[in-house]
Chains A and B, each alone.
Chain A
Amino acid sequence: MNERISITIEMAQSWGYASGAAMERFSAGLRERRIEALKCSGCGRRYLPPRPFCGNCHLELDDWVAVADEGSLEAWTVVNLPMLDGRTGEMREAPYGMGLIRLDGADTTLNHYLDVADPEHLAIGLRVQAVWRDELRGAMDDILHFRVLTEGP
């Protein structure tokens, strides 16, 4: 009887990712609970995350605009599977709410967690507001999640 042989190799790698000038400024702002987007001089689109270049217009971006830390829920879901958090390497316990949020002052949406994990209480159009951690490190998860406010327009 043939036994199936297999080999297991563990990978432990680390990479040093450079954030780039746009994200550096954005991250510095997060440490002061300030959110900024970059606006394209061509299409007028206000981009989060900020990045060096508008892929639609092929223009470099350098026009910083203020963005509120609240906005409207454009999409939502409640995830029932624990997911691997790529940042920490730990599993995030389920259920947890997630949404695509259009912050006031931005044209792209932001994918983030919601403080509601019940489909009965989530809907497109709700107003949501960022809940910040006490300790700010200049990273996207300085926002713990978004709190669902009253019904939107």
Chain B
Amino acid sequence: MTEVAVIGSGQTDHGRKRDDVSQPELVRQAVALALADAAIEPERLDAVVISNMELFEGRALPELWLGEGAYAARKPCLKVATGGTSGTSSCIAGYHQVASGLFDVVLVVGFEKHSEGHTQTGMALTDPFWDRAVAAGALGNFALSISQYMAERGVTQEQAARVAVKARRNAARNPHAHLQMPDITVEEVLASKLLAHPVHLLDMCPQSDGAAAIVLAGGQTARRLCPRPAWIKAAETRHEQPFIGDIDRRLASMRTLREAARSTYAKAGIADPLRDLDVAEIYEPVSYAELAWYEALGFCADGEAGRLIDEGVTEMDGTLPVNPSGGVLSANPVGASGVIRVAEAAKQVLGRAGEHQVAGVETALATGYGVYAWADALVLGATP
């Protein structure tokens, strides 16, 4: 397998409504920044992978129309779409393409322009005979799982609110984030509108317009072009049975993420995640999910997630900073969110995370999650 590294990344400023740009222009903004960061010209790209849940914008085969925004015209270009994991799955797809030796430099760009579609309609097009009859959307889905998780693992609304506070305060030092709230408090989160018990408005991720891109390169090229490439050491994906009720105690059990992480850690030589990882960018669509992911990712034992957030272990100055970028809780253009996780993890290794840089990062984790419990895990590091 050819060694593969992220040598650059770029993101748009994510926001509720980017009506200053068309979809192709939104893509172009992120791509132009990524190419500049990687110090390469568009001609150097051997292939492009696009990530987008186009049904949210009411579209089909969007790469046809907006591929040129990604400099994909007259180049090999594929589109990957796997719900919330689209972004991370696309990064893994790009990684496999470079690792195969067939392509040397691959651009992966993910985007979503929720403001140009009707996301609720997109989300409502679930299985027509079963899930669609009982409208819940992602919110209801999460809230149900959360009630089980709280009962089983004993986390409290305050602990979840602490996650939401951490995210938005971190986001205040991320110029691209949609929600930046440097002064947000636990009380504010708990006082915000109760959307679906026990989930408050400020516990939930926003719906954002935005795009993010990474440039992947094979070993020799990466070393030549980049002073300190962010090597992809391992990457794994796991999918799940299709219906909400198929998965018992979803957040508590989360077998897909547990297994993706276990397999990725084994390949990357991560024995104790809390100690061996320097930073993590994990895909947390709701505050409670981040607590569940601490356990699923082996940052702590089951039942200890609340303690981790209470003791500040995952704060910027803690043992393992989680989501210095502000996470999905601070910006969620669905097709881009997974790419943002990988881009942010890469930036930490590359030393390009600016105001939200964690000092001395050698190893970073990025994860993806989708409402169907599909999961991705990637480990990036300063050595291949």
Contact = CB atoms under 8 A, between A and B. Distances in A.
Contacts of B19: 4, 6
Given A4-B20, A77-B147, A81-B196, A140 B130 contact: yes
Contacts of B133: 87, 139-141
Interface in A1-38: 4, 6, 9, 11, 15, 17, 19, 23, 27
A153 interface: no
A29 B232 CA distance: 52
A141 B193 CA distance: 29
A71 to B, nearest CB: 11
Contact of A80 (B145, B196, B245): B196
B195 A79 contact: yes
Contacts of B139: 79, 81, 83
A112 B196 CA distance: 15
Interface stretch (B119-127, B221-229, B357-365, B372-380): B119-127
A17 B242 CA distance: 17
A67 to B, nearest CB: 12
B125 A86 contact: yes
B195 A84 contact: no
Nearest to B149: A75
B86 to A, nearest CB: 21
Nearest to A142: B133
B153 to A, nearest CB: 13
B77 to A, nearest CB: 24
B381 to A, nearest CB: 34
B124 A77 contact: no
Contacts of A27: 129
A83 B140 contact: yes
A83 B135 CA distance: 7
Contacts of A111: 131, 134, 136, 140-141, 144, 244-245
B284 to A, nearest CB: 18
A136 interface: no
Nearest to A49: B130
Contacts of B130: 23, 49, 140
Interface string B125-167: 1111111111111011101111110010000000000000000
Nearest to A83: B135
A68 interface: no
B132 A108 contact: no
Contact of A109 (B120, B197, B242, B245): B245
A133 interface: no
Interface string B313-341: 00000000000000000000000000000
B196 A78 contact: yes
Interface residues of B, number: 43
Nearest to B152: A124
Task: Please tell me the size bucket of the interface on A.
Answer: 35 or more
Given A108-B245, A109-B245, A74 B136 contact: no
B129 A74 contact: no
A48 interface: yes
Which of A75, A76, A119 has the most B CB atoms < 10 Å from its CB? A75
Contact of A110 (B20, B124, B146, B245): B245
Interface in A61-76: 74-76
A77 B129 contact: no
Which of B125, B127, B145 has the most A CB atoms < 10 Å from its CB? B127
Contact of A75 (B147, B194, B246): B147
A80 B120 contact: no
B121 A98 contact: no
Contact of A112 (B129, B134, B242): B134
B134 A98 contact: yes
Contacts of B146: 77
B150 to A, nearest CB: 9
Contacts of A139: 129, 133
A74 B143 CA distance: 12
Contacts of A76: 144, 147, 197
A77 B143 contact: yes
Contacts of B196: 77-81, 98
Given A4-B20, A17-B129, A49-B129, A141 B134 contact: yes
23 contacts: A17-B129, A47-B246, A49-B127, A49-B130, A49-B243, A76-B147, A79-B136, A79-B195, A80-B193, A81-B139, A81-B196, A85-B124, A86-B121, A86-B132, A86-B135, A87-B128, A98-B140, A100-B245, A110-B245, A112-B134, A139-B133, A140-B133, A141-B134
Given A77-B147, A78-B197, 10 more contacts: A4-B19, A27-B129, A49-B130, A76-B147, A76-B197, A83-B139, A84-B124, A85-B135, A98-B143, A124-B148
Q: What 5 pairs between A and B have smallest CB-CB spacing?
A: A86-B124, A140-B133, A77-B143, A109-B245, A86-B132
